Amino acid sequence: MSDQAAAQRVVRNDDENRYELWVGDQLAGFAEYLERGERTLFTHTEVADAFGGQGLGKVLAREALDDTVRRQRVIVPLCSFIADFVAKRPEYAAHVEAQRSDHGE
């Protein structure tokens, strides 16, 4: 696993509106987002079955959220995976805007 950990990287792909998790030269997962004003709405997160059960979703979420915070953007967790991730980590609380039930996006 240490070889795999060394080969992991998360990149923001603005053309595709997603953060991508790469393991070596393979796309292992992604977190899709939309940007609205100063808000980043996380809409869907997915890790390929071949990479499941290795904690890579957490790596992807943490890197995507940390980048969002560094960019001084507000996190809007529409995706259940991202919502669960931030709910368990108080360090993101000041940067999260809860989804409103009347939110049309």
Task: Note whether residue 70 is domain-resident.
Answer: yes
Nearest-angstrom CA–CA distance, 2 and 19? 22
Say how many CA atoms lie within 13 Å of 45 toward its Cβ. 25
Number of domains in the chain: 1
Token pair 């809860």 is found at 98
Q: What is the CATH number of the domain that holds 13?
A: 3.40.630.30
The pLDDT score that the predictor gives to residue 7 is 87
Full residue range of the structural domain in which residue 88 is found:
2-95
Give domain status of residue 64, yes or no: yes
Q: Is residue 101 part of a domain?
A: no
Residue 102 inside a domain? The answer is no
| 50 occurs within a structural domain | yes
List, for the chain, all residue ranges whose pLDDT scores fall below the cut of 50.
1-2, 101-105
Residue 104 within any structural domain of the chain? no
User: The pTM is what?
Assistant: 0.87
Residue 100 domain-assigned? Answer: no
Return the half-sphere exposure (C-beta side, CA atoms, 13 A cut-off) of residue 29: 25
Let me know if residue 39 belongs to a domain. Answer: yes
